[in-house]
Structure 1
Amino acid sequence: MSKSNTEHEQPIDWWTILSDLEFLTDPYPTLKRLQKRGTLHFDPETNIFFVLGHDGFSRIVKAPQMGRDTRKWKGGWNSPEYRDRDPIGYQLYSGSQPQMINCDGDDHARMRGVYAPAFRAQMMSDLAPMIKAESARLIEQLPLGKTVNFIEAYAAPLPLRVLGNLFDIPPSMDSAISKWSSALIRLADIMMSPEQKLEALTAQNELKAYLSEQIALRRKNPGDSLMDMAIRALDDGTLSEEETLTNLVSMFIAGHETTVTLIGNGMFLLLKNSDQMNALRQDNSSMRSAVEEFLRFEPGGNMILRIALEDYELEGTIIPAGAMVIGMIGAVNRDPNKFDNPDQFDMNRSPNPQYTFGGGAHICIGAPLARMEAHIAFSALLEKFSTIELAGTPQWRLDRRNARGMSNLPVRLEI
């Protein structure tokens, strides 16, 4: 297998591929074909490097020469030319910049340190009863013997309510937060239409305004929620007001969408592999490894980006400072050089070094929570229902380039 395809063969039209409905429905045949051409590709139209190999991506996410600060993307949204050409896009991206996921070094450590204690093992253990209660409440509302959209009835509302409890946000806000989340998740698409940018900017402003109101109210009646942690960091000067709001927005969006896709995609895989679903129902000791295989086999995102902070050599190619590098996670997680039978779903796969939550300093801070939610969500479902079967044609969301999840997963349930 050729290791690099940065100079040879006809250039790949990446952004046409990433918008193609066939790719968005099933990206793996295309990724496999491109991976055979090389594990590192350069797109001359956008000056972006695409990494399709596990080893290369592992190096990228761990290298100190690589970061997440998109202000340093040469020719990107932070350039004067972009600001003049696309003022809406500039407002949107600059408004989402000051947060832990988009900062490096000391700024990243400072912001992440505010929330890291909430995601430690003991804190996760303390959250389990609340997550189980929310799961049980939703399960009791699921109809028997009728077709139900699993995404709308279970996969989406569960993480939304968990987040609501963590931030002490009432259920009456679930619809608004879901709407804001759907608009803002497209920031991860990198390339957005003017209409999508305007919709996302509106959502960003509305969510920040709501959070500002909540901060003012919580100061009068402090507690121990994640919102209160953010307020304390704001008041003691650890975070600025804009950093506080932007990090809260990010945690709402990422914390919701990441878990929706994990639960939805995981159920899709179990429905396609009923023998493994039945084995898991009889003995859920493999649930932990099953969740890891959900993440590997159907990751909830197509792309993870990095920005070269300085020149960096990968597979014999110099990635210049200021270049964007995109890891194609569907290819990374199914790299035949790393995984045996990579296109086979195996809930007992071990080891399973998948990269759906990223890696290095910027590994997803909420990954422990998402994993626990999935563990509880599937354990409760398999314990309650003797039959969970597909009752129609699943439909993937086709309005996003990056976030990969389903809009409709019709199932029928029996006790």
Structure 2
Amino acid sequence: MSAAGQSDDIDWWGTLSDPAFLENPYPELHRLSARGPVQFDPASGIWFILGHKAFSKVLKSQSFGRDTRNWAGGWTTEDYKKADPVGYELFSTFQPQMINCDGPEHRRMRAVYEPAFRSQAMADVVPIIEAEAAALLDAMPDEGEADFITAFAAPLPLRVLCELFDLSAGTDARVARWSASLIRIGDILMTPEQKQEALDALSEFKAFLKECLAAADPASARNFMALALKARDDGTLDEEESLTNLISMLIAGHETTVTLIGNGMLILLRNPEEMARLRAEPALMRTAIEEFLRMEPGGNMILRVALEDVEVEGTVIPKGAPVLGLIGAVNRDPARFDVPDDLDIARPANAQLTFGGGAHSCIGAPLARLEAQIAFSAFFEKYDTIELAGAPEWRLDRLNARGLAKLPVHLGAAK
């Protein structure tokens, strides 16, 4: 390390894209964390945050934002536009949404959908989640082997979202395909082919939702679609903002919950004594969900951009610099968590940062937590036996979204 916080001898992007890292990042993250909580990659100009205290400050500070238009030398420059016109079109078309804006612009968009995630609204969603979980469980065998991801963890959030967004039955497959392409925008590092695929998916997704909005009846539209229609009609959101925010919430609402349920089940399967404890003490479900989020977060990185020169843990991060919090390291920081590599479903004061923090904390976090609680409770009620039936397979086609492609399980129904 040639200067405070500067790592000249680390191939950051080679590490972050290594299949071995994607399957199990924690040994390497521990090694990197030992070098310091704030580190700079001169090759990419990105600052990496690995400490919990440091990244908590970044998330809460008004000196950092999420709008990548403030990224010095980023995609908004003329040089970038000339060198990568597909990337420029993708990022500029995907820009007008709450996650990509700061200040009043962000608050205006976020306020449209915040009512959908309040306590009463979440209580109204419970029967929908329970019904979809029951339908999926009815289709699964009472005994034998199954893939937990394809049979349960992946379709459950998508079916719930289609209900909440007033989308017709049968759209699941298309939404899942578009989501898989667009989720890679969060990887930061994308191939030209992935950018084109994401741009095509964005165009198709917007056209589909535009038709849905045009056909929707404001008097009978439900939940998110009703909120989108109201905001469009009263001028709070323009059409592009309406479409892009809907797309973003569909993607995040799907992927975040799939990874939470899938990753959480794998953690329990690898810790059968804690699974038995959770069965015996169902009141621990809420803290168990927080521990799943801490131990196996559904994202490897959270992005922020410095809006001014700002000091973090003794290191000055310059205005316009991109900052990536490596959540696997942050959530297992031994300075913040006792025995951070051990599962404790009753862990107190679990300050995991998987859903971010500050103004840009994940708006859909209450829904993801609720779906996970219902999903695990319903699965435990049907099955007395849940065991690994083979090696789990992690998704290796993305750098940021961390989830399983397959989780083979052996199941035995309760008598």
2:24 maps to what in 1? 26
Q: Distance in 1 between matches of 2:112 and 2:11?
A: 41
Specify which of 55, 72, 75 is matched with residue 74 of structure 1.
72
Q: Distance in 1 between matches of 2:269 and 2:6?
A: 41
Contact 2:259 2:402 in 1 (8 A): yes
The equivalences for 1:306-325 within 5 A come to: 306-325=304-323
2:373 maps to what in 1? 375
Q: Distance in 1 between matches of 2:71 and 2:364?
A: 26
2:244 maps to 1:246: yes
Deviates more, 1:309-318 or 1:404-413: 309-318
Distance 1:245 1:8, change over 3 A: closer
2:281 maps to 1:283: yes
Offset of residue 61 of structure 1? 0.3
Distance 1:279 1:318, change over 3 A: same
1:170 maps to what in 2? 168
**Residue type of the alignment partner of 2:385:** T
Contact 2:8 2:42 in 1 (8 A): no
Offset of residue 8 of structure 1? 5.7
Offset of residue 367 of structure 1? 0.1
Offset of residue 10 of structure 1? 4.0
Per-residue displacement from partner, 1:234-261 (whole Å, max 9, x unpaired)? 1101001111111001001000000000
TM-score (norm 2): 0.97
1:145 maps to what in 2? 143
Specify which of 165, 189, 193 is matched with residue 191 of structure 2.
193
Structure 1 consecutive aligned stretches of length 4 or more whose deviation exceeds 6 Å: none
Q: Distance in 2 between matches of 1:5 and 1:40?
A: 12
Specify which of 268, 276, 296 is matched with residue 294 of structure 2.
296
Per-residue displacement from partner, 1:86-130 (whole Å, max 9, x unpaired)? 010011111111100010000110000000000001110111111
1:132 maps to what in 2? 130
Contact 1:281 1:383 in 2 (8 A): no
Offset of residue 318 of structure 1? 1.3
Q: Distance in 1 between matches of 2:6 and 2:111?
A: 44
Contact 1:5 1:42 in 2 (8 A): no
Q: Distance in 1 between matches of 2:15 and 2:397?
A: 14
Distance 1:210 1:43, change over 3 A: same
SS at match of 1:45: coil
Contact 1:144 1:412 in 2 (8 A): no
2:112 maps to what in 1? 114
The equivalences for 1:7-406 within 5 A come to: 7=5, 10-219=8-217, 222-406=220-404
Q: Distance in 2 between matches of 1:240 and 1:11?
A: 47
**Unaligned stretches of 5+ in structure 1?**
none
**Residue type of the alignment partner of 2:165:** F
Per-residue displacement from partner, 1:176-221 (whole Å, max 9, x unpaired)? 0000010010010011000110111000000000000011001476
Offset of residue 7 of structure 1? 4.8
Offset of residue 11 of structure 1? 3.0
Contact 1:4 1:40 in 2 (8 A): no
Q: Distance in 2 between matches of 1:147 and 1:4?
A: 53
Per-residue displacement from partner, 1:374-407 (whole Å, max 9, x unpaired)? 0000001111110011111100001110000000
Contact 1:89 1:197 in 2 (8 A): yes
User: Among the aligned pairs, what percent are the same residue?
Assistant: 58
**Unaligned stretches of 5+ in structure 2?**
none
Distance 1:7 1:160, change over 3 A: closer
TM-score (norm 1): 0.97
What is the aligned residue count? Answer: 413
**Residue type of the alignment partner of 1:251:** M
Offset of residue 225 of structure 1? 2.4
Distance 1:381 1:5, change over 3 A: farther
Q: Distance in 2 between matches of 1:51 and 1:117?
A: 32
Q: Distance in 2 between matches of 1:157 and 1:223?
A: 23
Q: CA RMSD in A?
A: 1.4
Contact 2:129 2:374 in 1 (8 A): yes
